[in-house]
Amino acid sequence: MSTATTTLRWHVVCPLDRLDPDRGVAALVDGAQVAIFRTGDGLYAIDNRDPVAEAYVLSRGIVGSRQGVPTVASPLHKQVYDLRTGVCLDLPGVSVTRHEIRCRNGLVEVRLRQEG
């Protein structure tokens, strides 16, 4: 019951102006490492764990786009992930969990999603 309650709760991460455009940052949200990105007018939150390298490094990846889709490339093996969905654009069947993110009253908030 506490897990379901926790996943529905919004967690304040930081003020919006602390996020540099087109750069990632790692945040510990309710015990989970989350990679947060600010690109243009968009905010994105995905698991920080790279499923290919099995390391918590996605927040340090290279932010870009592929055919208009906001992406991050893993800093280790360079697989590219769609920031909107968490799907790996290079390896079929590979993805990271995407979390809900919003800016409210100048504060960035994240709500965790469970895999599955």
**Domain of residue 81, residue span:** 2-111
Residue 57: which CATH number? 2.102.10.10
**Number of domains observed in the structure of the chain:** 1
Q: With a threshold of 0.95, does the pTM exceed it?
A: no
Over residues 92-101, the pLDDT tens digits come to 999 999 999 9
Question: Is 9:111 a contact under the CB 8 Å cutoff?
Answer: yes
For residue 12, list its beta bridge partners: 109
CA dist 4 and 104 (Å) reads 23
As given in the structure block, the two tokens for residue 38 are 């600010």
Note whether residue 102 is domain-resident: yes
CB burial of residue 69 (10 Å; 0-12, 13-18, 19+): middle
Over residues 12-57, the pLDDT tens digits come to 999 999 999 999 999 999 999 999 999 988 999 999 999 999 999 9
Note whether residue 116 is domain-resident: no
Note whether residue 53 is domain-resident: yes
As given in the structure block, the two tokens for residue 102 are 């919003």
Note whether residue 104 is domain-resident: yes
